[in-house]
Amino acid sequence: MMKQELMEPETIKKPETKKQKVSITDLPGVGAATAEKLMAVGYSDLMSIAVATPAELIDSTGMTDALAKKIIAVARSSLDMGFETGEDYLKRRERVDKITTGSKDFDTLLGGGLETGAIVECFGEFGSGKTQLGHALAVNTQLLKNEKNPVAVYIDTENTFRPERIKQIAQGLGLDPSKVLKSIKVAKAYNSDHQMLLAEKIEDLIKSQELNVKTVIVDSLTAHFRAEFIGRGTLADRQQKLNRHMHVLLKLADMYNLCVYVTNQVMAKPDMFFGDPTQAIGGHIVAHASTFRVYLRKGKKGSRVAKLVDSPNLPEGEASFYVETSGLKDIK
């Protein structure tokens, strides 16, 4: 506080406004055509270029090695690469809100619900409840106490979004179903590029339409990527694109203090003889970018079991619940 009062406000503000104005078309050697190519493959802002490797930029645009290195360097130097004090960080943590799953036990496993400012990944076999949790979250976003007109964005890649389910879950909570439906923005993604573009458009929704987006659901995160990139030759390309997609989602979570919920299928691991022979799609790219990772499986008597496999500050553990017409419920 003291320090700021002593400084000339001019000297503090100037570099910041200059930094904010730089966009990818301001980078040296990047004309309209190159900018368009970069945008088309998801490099829509300076941060995405600052964290890219030269090889990634060359692959996607055909630019020269020298230019790729140069624009990465310029992007890096024109960005605040984000150190903040522990105190500022704590202040941001204090803003973190929790969205309930509907089940107290499941919430407890997650430290009170799904956190805003984070990516929560749920992976599990078909019918394990990933989509049902997505629907529950879209509705339960309305239960956030400190938010005015909270909105959930649902990116549906498998054509499994059902407004009827939203109505049922809303009714179960005593909420007005049509009001809840109005608070959810749904978009179908037809392929992985479309999916990436939709994720990038969320920022526009927040800015230009002034929507208070608190939850972003991507169901499924990996299905299109998995279907489009078959065979080993293209695995690196797939991971690179997925990485960029995760980066966009993480930035949204961080900048707008919203919760990103992504679902992920599992594949059989035939060489595994002990434990659970399944593995999440997307490998370390998705695992690494997710703040919380939950493994869902079918349990006894039609129940579902959630296992927390990765979290920054919570112990590993399990919780059981039922998927019911009115949402996710505790086992009594």
Residues that bind Mg ion (CB under 5 A): 130-131
Closer of 93 and 269 to ligand GTP (Cβ):
269
CA distance 301 to 322: 9
CB 93 within 8 A of CB 85: no
Query: Could you tell me how far CA 130 lies from the centroid of its own chain?
Result: 15
Question: Of Mg ion, ligand GTP, none, which one sits near residue 224, judging by CB under 5 to 8 A according to partner kind?
Answer: none
CA distance 205 to 316: 36
Part of the chain binding ligand GTP (CB under 6 A), chosen from 32-40, 100-108, 281-289, 322-330: 322-330
| Interstrand relation of 184-188 and 150-156 (parallel, antiparallel or unpaired) | parallel
Question: Of Mg ion, ligand GTP, none, which one sits near residue 277, judging by CB under 5 to 8 A according to partner kind?
Answer: none
Residue 126 sits in the site that holds ligand GTP (CB under 6 A):
yes
Place of tokens 């089940």: 103
Calculate the alpha carbon distances from 292 to 5, 85, 130, 251, 299 in Å: 40, 24, 14, 16, 21
Closest approach of Mg ion to the CB of residue 223, in Å: 9
Part of the chain binding ligand GTP (CB under 6 A), chosen from 85-93, 108-116, 252-260, 317-325: 317-325
Closest approach of Mg ion to the CB of residue 198, in Å: 17
> Of residues 128-167, which lie at the interface with ligand GTP (CB under 6 A)?
128-132
Question: Of Mg ion, ligand GTP, none, which one sits near residue 132, judging by CB under 5 to 8 A according to partner kind?
Answer: ligand GTP
CA distance 96 to 116: 5
Among 34, 44, 265, 311, the residue binding ligand GTP under the rule CB under 6 A is 265
Buried b (16+ CB within 10 A) or exposed e, 53-91: ebebbbebbebeeebbebbbebbeebbeeeeeeeeeeee
> Of residues 90-119, which lie at the interface with ligand GTP (CB under 6 A)?
none
Q: Please give the residue ranges that form the binding site for ligand GTP (CB under 6 A).
A: 124, 126-132, 265, 323-325
